[in-house]
């Protein structure tokens, strides 16, 4: 199995095989299958695609969210690229997504490897590690907000560690760290479970054979584990990066985008457009955001294509 | 090689503190008095043990109402997701040779790459316009955003189900409709659980969608009502944490009981896709 098949339906040989044999035996599609599919396509179109198209259309106007509007062309986009507030939010969001995906994937993979080793209480330990997955992000962020603004400074003061005696949430240079920590805390469990599934699918005789050849654990990890779970790494990083790019709950619960605009994500600036009166302008922002997200996802798939080893 | 690695076990045990400490703080803060919670020491035990915060949090968040609304929204999302995506995936998987079905799959998958902020503002307008700016509308929207991933999981799983099963049923005179309900849906069992768990967690824990879509604040979901403690009751930490605990506890308890299925559900989702 390989994670890459996930994004190219029909790309597998088995699917092609059944396809061709079925095509010769049964050409006509039974109408009922349309009944199964078409209503879903229609509601999906109405609730997801139409709003997206409306938004993209309004990005070419001077619409404020209500009342009249006139066509503007691309001037919203031109303004976007010279707006320091927007550029700053992209800088923050991309940097945050990059740091968090690396931190979360490294920790999740390390935990998954450790949990599949010969340890005691593996089930109990795993149960605890997965708990963050089932709780609400905003509530978790509120709890961490308290820890960062009260407990951490209290501890830092007690041990005399100067830099942390003030809350990091109020520090423009450190506030982003709190968002990385809480986002990683929340998303590590899901990635951990996916990696566990990947690791347990690797036959143990591969490790035994390589151990006989004198391979060190690190060498085994690099030459057996990583290539064989490359598909899982791809799934996790794509889902992770996409999630982190849209970060919102955690920021609302921790910093509210502050101090100043130091932790304002792209999602937050876009939502600000509905109340702030620059609806059309933020729809241009949203359209650019769509392109950026899609490009990053596709780039990840292309960069890792062919790296995944099939068993 | 076959002996237990105690150093690793201890190391992992210490690592669980990153999960357990925030939970412990939530629990102990919730049972403190206002005076004790205001002293800033998060790690001290409650003394005296004061359960009164829960009563206050219960009324402030109108807990039964918010809880019920969260549950209703999640139920709508889960039922719609299971129903729509299993039928759609079945149609797609069995007619893959047909261009319309192949392109439909790609069309549905497009939403995987569609960030929510892109559609958020027009969605707020459209739901207001159509009277769906309520829990019902939020449930529908949750299901819509769950479609891509669910159809993906279902179609991958359906490929592994041998088509001969259906063909023999067809020879026995079963209609496609009967085949779906009697044969396919039961065979999809493990995948139904996986898709259902994903849909439930995504909906139950969501903050963004309800906070943006819902026009009537008295109909808000549990995660969203927690924000009252950020402004109005900022210093009553004990009440805030009692409320956080009440918001977290149901899903943690449910998880501890059902963890075997939650974990196998998620890993199954990963392996089958």
pLDDT digits (tens, 9 = 90+) for A229-265: 888 888 889 889 989 999 999 999 999 888 888 899 9
| Contacting residues of A for B105, CB less than 8 Å apart | 9
Cis amide linkage into residue A20, ω under 30° from 0: no
Q: Is A308 helix (H, G, I), strand (E, B) or coil?
A: coil
State pLDDT tens for residues A125-179. 999 999 999 999 999 999 999 999 888 888 888 887 777 788 889 888 899 999 9
Q: Is A196 on the interface with B (CB under 8 A)?
A: yes
What is the rounded average pLDDT for all residues in chain A?
85
What is the pLDDT, as a whole number, of residue B2? 59
User: What pLDDT does residue B271 have?
Assistant: 62
Q: Do A143 and B244 touch (CB under 8 A)?
A: yes
Inspect the interface and report whether the beta carbons of B176 and A282 lie closer than 8 Å.
Answer: no
List the structure tokens of A1.
């199995």
Query: Is the previous residue joined to A259 through a cis bond, with omega within 30 degrees of 0?
Result: yes
What residues of chain A lie within 8 A of the CB of B128, using their CB? none
8 Å CB contact of A120 and B4: yes
What pLDDT is stored for residue A112 in this prediction? 94
Q: How many CB atoms lie within 10 A of CB A241?
A: 20
Specify the DSSP class assigned to residue A4.
G
| Residues of chain B found within 8 Å of residue A33, distances taken between Cβ atoms | 91, 94-95, 101, 176
Provide the pLDDT confidence category of residue B247 given band limits of 50, 70 and 90: very high
CB B142 within 8 A of CB B202: yes
The alpha carbon of residue A95 is apart from the nearest alpha carbon of chain B, in Å, by 17
Measured distance CA(A254)–CA(A264) in Å, rounded: 11
**Which chain B residue lies closest to A114 (C-alpha atoms)?**
B8
ipTM: 0.91
In the predicted model, what is the mean pLDDT of residues A262-276? 87
pLDDT in the model for residue A307: 60
Residue A138 is nearest to which of B12, B223, B237, comparing CB atoms? B223
* Banded pLDDT at B234 (limits 50, 70, 90): low
Contact (Cβ atoms closer than 8 angstroms) between residue A142 and residue B229: yes
> Nearest 5°: phi and psi at A74?
-95, 15
3 state SS of A6: helix
> Which DSSP string do the residues of A247-287 spell out, in sequence order?
--HHHHHHTTT-STTTT--HHHHHHHHHHHS-HHHHHHHHH
Residue B270's pLDDT band (cuts 50, 70, 90): low
pLDDT band at A17 (very low <50, low <70, confident <90, very high): very low
Stretch 245-264 of chain B: residues touching chain A, C-beta under 8 Å: 247-248, 251-252, 254-256, 259, 262-263
Chain B's closest residue to A19, CA to CA, is B97
The interface residues of chain B toward chain A in range 32-91, judged by CB-CB distance below 8 A, are: 40-43, 84-85, 87-88, 90-91
- Quote the DSSP letter at residue B221: -
Q: B38-82, pLDDT tens digit by residue?
A: 776 778 888 888 888 999 999 999 999 999 999 999 999 999 999
Distances (CA, A) of A91 to A78, A105, A130, A245, B119: 18, 21, 31, 11, 22
Q: Do B84 and A14 touch (CB under 8 A)?
A: no
SS3 B135: helix
Q: Tell me the Cα Rg of chain A.
A: 24
Range B95-114 average pLDDT = 90
For residues A212-237, give the mean pLDDT: 88
User: Of A184 and A161, which is predicted with more confidence?
Assistant: A184
Size of interface A-B (CB pairs under 8 A): 288
Q: What is the secondary structure of A118-173 as a DSSP string? A: S-SSHHHHHHHHHGGGGS-HHHHHHHHHHIIIIIHHHHHHHHT-GGGSS-GGG-TT
A63-106 pLDDT per residue, tens? 888 888 888 888 999 999 999 989 999 999 999 999 999 999 99
Residues 69-108 of A with CB under 8 A from B: none
Kindly list the structural domains of chain A, giving each domain's residue range(s) and its CATH number in brackets, ordered by start. Answer: 84-306 (1.10.3720.10)
Of the pLDDT bands very low, low, confident and very high (cuts 50, 70, 90), residue A27 is: low
Q: Which one of A40, A194, A290 has the shortest CB-CB distance to B114?
A: A290
User: Which chain B positions have a beta carbon within 8 Å of A5's beta carbon?
Assistant: 156
| B231 has a chain A CB within 8 A of its CB | no
What's the pLDDT at B232? 60
User: pLDDT band for position A13 (50/70/90)?
Assistant: very low
* CB within 8 Å: B207 and A136: yes
Neighbours of A201 (CB within 10 A): 15
Q: Which residue has the higher pLDDT, A276 or B33?
A: B33
Q: Is A59 helix (H, G, I), strand (E, B) or coil?
A: coil
pLDDT class of A306 with cuts at 50, 70, 90: low
Q: Within an 8 Å CB–CB cutoff, is residue A138 touching chain B?
A: yes
Residue written as tokens 């709890």?
Answer: A143
pLDDT surpasses 50 at B243: yes
Place A16 in a pLDDT band, splitting at 50, 70 and 90: very low
Angle at A155 between CA A150 and CA A158, to 5 degrees: 125
Q: What pLDDT is attached to residue A5?
A: 36
């Amino acid at each position: 199995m390989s994670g890459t098949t996930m994004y190219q339906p029909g790309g597998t040989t088995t699917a092609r095989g059944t396809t061709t044999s079925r095509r010769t035996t049964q050409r006509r599609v039974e109408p009922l299958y349309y009944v199964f599919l078409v209503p879903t396509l229609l509601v999906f179109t109405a609730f997801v695609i139409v709003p997206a198209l409306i938004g993209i259309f309004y990005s070419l106007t001077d619409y404020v969210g209500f009342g009249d509007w006139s066509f503007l062309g691309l001037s919203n986009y031109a303004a976007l690229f010279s707006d320091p507030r927007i550029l700053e939010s992209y800088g923050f969001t991309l940097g945050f997504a990059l740091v968090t995906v690396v931190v979360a994937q490294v920790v999740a993979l390390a935990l998954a490897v450790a949990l599949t080793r010969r340890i005691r209480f593996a089930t109990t330990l795993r149960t605890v590690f997965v708990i963050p997955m089932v709780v609400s992000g905003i509530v978790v962020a509120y709890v961490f907000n308290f820890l960062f603004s009260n407990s951490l400074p209290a501890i830092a003061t007690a041990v005399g560690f100067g830099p942390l005696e003030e809350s990091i949430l109020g520090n423009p240079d450190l506030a982003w760290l709190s968002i990385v920590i809480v986002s990683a805390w929340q998303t590590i469990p899901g990635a951990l479970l996916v990696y566990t599934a990947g690791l347990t699918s690797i036959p143990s005789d591969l490790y035994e054979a390589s151990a006989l050849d004198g391979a060190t654990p690190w060498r085994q990890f690099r030459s057996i584990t990583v290539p064989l779970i490359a598909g899982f790494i791809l799934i996790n990083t794509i889902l992770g990066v996409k999630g982190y790019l849209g970060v919102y709950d955690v920021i609302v619960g921790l910093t509210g985008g502050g101090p100043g605009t130091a932790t304002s994500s792209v999602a937050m600036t876009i939502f600000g457009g509905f109340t702030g009166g620059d609806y059309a302008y933020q729809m241009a922002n949203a359209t650019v955001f769509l392109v950026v997200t899609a490009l990053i996802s596709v780039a990840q798939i292309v960069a890792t294509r062919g790296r995944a080893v099939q068993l | 090689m076959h002996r237990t690695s105690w150093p690793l076990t201890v190391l992992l045990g210490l690592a669980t503190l990153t999960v357990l400490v925030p939970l412990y703080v939530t629990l102990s803060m919730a049972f403190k008095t206002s005076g004790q919670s205001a002293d800033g020491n998060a790690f001290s035990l409650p003394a005296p043990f004061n359960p009164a915060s829960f009563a206050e949090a219960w009324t402030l968040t109108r807990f039964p109402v918010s809880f019920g609304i969260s549950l209703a929204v999640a139920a709508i999302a889960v039922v719609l997701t299971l129903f729509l995506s299993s039928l759609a995936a079945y149609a797609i998987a069995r007619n893959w040779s047909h261009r319309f079905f192949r392109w439909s799959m790609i069309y549905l998958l497009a939403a995987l790459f569609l960030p929510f902020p892109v559609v958020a503002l027009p969605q707020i307008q459209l739901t207001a316009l159509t009277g769906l700016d309520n829990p019902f509308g939020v449930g529908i929207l949750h299901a819509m955003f769950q479609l891509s991933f669910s159809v993906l999981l279902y179609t991958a799983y359906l490929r592994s189900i041998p088509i001969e099963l259906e063909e023999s049923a067809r020879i026995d005179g079963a209609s496609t409709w009967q085949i779906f309900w009697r044969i396919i849906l039961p065979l999809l069992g493990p995948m139904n659980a996986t898709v259902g768990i994903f849909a439930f967690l995504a909906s139950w824990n969501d903050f963004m969608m309800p906070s943006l879509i819902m026009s009537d604040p008295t109909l808000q979901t549990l995660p969203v009502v927690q924000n009252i403690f950020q402004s109005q009751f900022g210093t009553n930490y004990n009440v805030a944490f009692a409320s956080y605990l009440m918001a977290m506890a149901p899903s943690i308890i449910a998880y501890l009981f059902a963890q075997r299925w939650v974990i196998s559900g998620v890993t199954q989702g990963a392996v089958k896709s």
